[in-house]
Structure 1
Amino acid sequence: MRKLLAEFFGTYWLVFGGCGSALFAAGIPDLGIGFAGVSLAFGLTVLTMAYAVGHISGGHFNPAVTLGLWAGGRFEAKDILPYILSQCVGAIAAAGTLFFILSGKDGFAIDNTKAGAFASNGFDAFSPQGYSMTAAFTAEFVLTLFFLLIILGATDKLANGKFAGVAIGLGLTLIHLISIPITNTSVNPARSLSQAVFAGGEPLSQVWLFWAAPILGAIVAGFIYKNLLQDKS
């Protein structure tokens, strides 16, 4: 139960901090934090929670990470479903909190006919810069693959584990710097689901891609690291 609570709170913080920065602070004229600020916010959520609760649950906060660690031989199959459920509940709870806060602003409404509605992910007309489904799938697959390689390498028994959280947090920051214009950046199915549930409409109908591509990328990364990169001596 402690592990599941850690995953709940870690994923909650990731969505609240990352998506919250996009919703509250990114678009303010002259003073807004923009894409770079949102990218840093997502990285900081993972970095801070990796040190806060990572020692309890392993600090996944992401269904793709859980499955990638399983593929890499670092996580037991019996714990996959409880972890993913905890992550999704935490993400949706955070999205609910964001919705409640935003509802306190006059004129608030989610326009789910536009890209990035309620910080949702999307492709084609729902990509921030109009990238196709194929382009979005490729970006999410490749970026999640490299995110898992960073995680698996930084947490390897031969690595300096004290700095794993820094490497992982900066890795997620870089991923967002690359891909916010493409998909609004997912690499995390729970994060995508939570925002799409509240946005509804086309963002919700497109959420399948933001489960399939990150999970496939993570699993491929797990097998690559386990079989090609890991020192087995």
Structure 2
Amino acid sequence: MSVQTCERNCMGPKNPSRGKFQASIGVHEIFSPEIWKAALTELVATASLMFTLSTTIIACLDSHEVDPKLSVPFAVFIIVFLFLIVTVPLSGGHMSPVFTLIATLKGVTTLSRALLYILAQCIGSIIGFYILKCVMDPRLVNTYSLGGCAIGGKGLNSSINQYEALLLEFSCTFLVLFLGVTLAFDKKRSKNLGLPMVCLVIAGAMALAVFMSITVTGRAGYAGVGLNPARCLGAALVHGGSLWDGLWIFWAGPILACLIYYSVSINLPKDSLVLMDGENDGLKLPLGSSVTIPNGDISKETFYSASHVSQNT
């Protein structure tokens, strides 16, 4: 090997910062078969979730129940939990650009994987709603807008205001992130609780958000929070109509919630404030000088505390 060849090959990359940048955005993952398998899992899971969830919600709304406000969140809880428990070990169980975006901001997912995931989720949503529209009764499709994200079509004077819908979308998405993602991204607590319990918390947070959105407003034409921009986009592309009205809300609200939650999460305490041995609560501090020693048993800690108090007094 010549000296010039050794200098060219043995000194490493000329621009190490470029290599670090490419690694941070995950350029190497594009050529990995595993990321394409994971993206395919996200596509199939999202398509199946959209088909199952929308069918169940429409069935609850079209039932003979006087008030389906409890049945819809319960159905969301069961379905989301089942899909999470299956897909989390395979691809992370995102099935929504919301979870993909916050995972990217937290450094759990690279930018390349995130873009591929979001594309797969949008395509999966379109496929799921297309299958649903092909098999569903046209009357139900038109009545419930294919189960998509609606804030009220034309002629619905009692529909929710766009800014109110945006505030609800932001608040409910932030609630899901604060309750579910905070636990899911905590490696220690997630390991202690186990996968089923983490999935239960996330599914419960989503069901709670849906329940809050459909009970706090009660206005005609409002289908509740979307919590999944891919779901709203897929239904709008397949069904169209009033689903295009305010579609930006179901993207802007979650994105804003992700950004705010990220800024809050980086300032959360790392260690829990647990009462340790040797610490006293607030009520015992004023009573420290009047502590009686039972049976004349004096421990080292008690002796030190008593002597310390006597010296100060």
Report what 1:35 is aligned to: 69
The reply to whether residue 5 of structure 1 matches residue 35 of structure 2 is no
Q: Which of 216, 221, 224 is residue 264 of structure 2 equivalent to?
A: 224
**Cα–Cα, structure 1 residues 51 and 109, in superposed 2: closer, same or farther, change >3 Å?**
closer
Q: Which of 232, 235, 256 is residue 195 of structure 1 equivalent to?
A: 235
Q: Cα offset for 1:230? A: 5.5
Q: Which of 115, 118, 124 is residue 90 of structure 1 equivalent to?
A: 124
| Matched residue type, 1:134 | Y
Q: What TM-score do you get using the length of structure 1 for normalisation? A: 0.85
Q: Cα offset for 1:213? A: 0.8
**What's the C-alpha RMSD, in Å, of the aligned pairs?**
2.5
Q: Which of 94, 108, 111 is residue 139 of structure 2 equivalent to?
A: 108
| Matched residue type, 1:66 | T
CA contact 1:19–1:119 (8 Å) conserved in 2 = yes
Structure 1: 5+ residue runs without aligned partners? none
| Larger RCO: 1 or 2 (CA < 8 Å, sep 6+) | 1
The number of aligned residues is 225
**Cα–Cα, structure 1 residues 154 and 33, in superposed 2: closer, same or farther, change >3 Å?**
farther
Any residues of structure 2 matched to 1:8-23 within 5 Å, and which?
Answer: 8-23=43-58
Any residues of structure 2 matched to 1:47-86 within 5 Å, and which?
Answer: 47-86=81-120
| Matched residue type, 1:17 | T
Report what 2:162 is aligned to: 133
| Matched residue type, 1:216 | L
Separation (CA, whole Å) in 1 of partners of 2:223 and 2:64: 23
Report what 1:150 is aligned to: 179
Separation (CA, whole Å) in 2 of partners of 1:94 and 1:217: 26
**Cα–Cα, structure 1 residues 193 and 98, in superposed 2: closer, same or farther, change >3 Å?**
same
**Cα–Cα, structure 1 residues 187 and 43, in superposed 2: closer, same or farther, change >3 Å?**
same
Q: Cα offset for 1:128? A: 11
CA contact 1:70–1:222 (8 Å) conserved in 2 = no
**Cα deviations by residue, 1:50-98 (Å, 9 ceiling, x for unpaired):** 1112111111110011111222232212211100011111111111121
CA contact 2:153–2:245 (8 Å) conserved in 1 = no
Select the structure of larger CA radius of gyration.
2
Report what 1:121 is aligned to: 149
Separation (CA, whole Å) in 2 of partners of 1:146 and 1:70: 19
**Cα deviations by residue, 1:165-207 (Å, 9 ceiling, x for unpaired):** 0000111111111113454220110111122222212312421
Q: Cα offset for 1:124? A: 5.3
| Matched residue type, 2:145 | A
Separation (CA, whole Å) in 2 of partners of 1:10 and 1:143: 23
Report what 2:79 is aligned to: 45
Report what 2:200 is aligned to: 166
CA contact 2:45–2:87 (8 Å) conserved in 1 = yes
Separation (CA, whole Å) in 1 of partners of 2:87 and 2:211: 26
